Amino acid sequence: MLFMLSRKLKNPQNISSILKWAGFAAPLYVFGFWVRHALLWVYGIWPLETQHWSLFETVGFVNLLLTLLVAAFVCTGVCLAFRQKKKLNIWLVGIAITLIGVYFVIYDLVSVWDPIYRAYLPLTDFWMITLLVLSVAVLVDSRSSV
């Protein structure tokens, strides 16, 4: 999907085609992050902590289970609504970006206190934390355009 989107972006004369491919790629990209981190949790974190969970492991699990998954569903909803109404809900886009950034911030904070999470910290995408800055800009822009 990202490949097709990049091919459409190289020839930007048909904006509807670009938006269609972006609408397919964005939710799949977020669902892909969720699957990747879920498999990382199942493979690396869960088997090691079968006796008891500390507060940080519980927060990490709930963060994995909810934050990225809710962001993927919000992103899917935004894309489906855009396909029907042909108008993008910028506020919901900002919420989805915020949720993705919050997931990575919480993951990094949990890894400060939990050594198992810290062991997998190099596998995370630190650049995703910058999405919080982008989401603030998108949310402020959506409020000023209303």
Residue 98, pLDDT score: 92
pLDDT tens string 73-114: 999 998 888 888 877 788 888 899 899 999 989 988 888 888
pLDDT tens string 4-57: 656 666 666 666 667 777 777 888 888 988 898 888 877 776 655 556 677 877
Residue 118, pLDDT score: 83
CA nearest to 43, candidates 116, 127, 100, 128: 116
Cα gap 78→99, rounded to integer Å: 14
Q: CA angle 127-130-136, nearest 5°?
A: 160
CA nearest to 46, candidates 122, 123, 139, 116: 116
Q: CA angle 95-98-99, nearest 5°?
A: 90
Residue 146, pLDDT score: 54
Residue 73, pLDDT score: 93
- Could you say which DSSP state residue 49 is in? G
CA nearest to 41, candidates 141, 100, 111, 99: 111
Residues with Cβ < 8 Å from 123, sequence gap 6 or more? 40
Cα gap 139→137, rounded to integer Å: 6
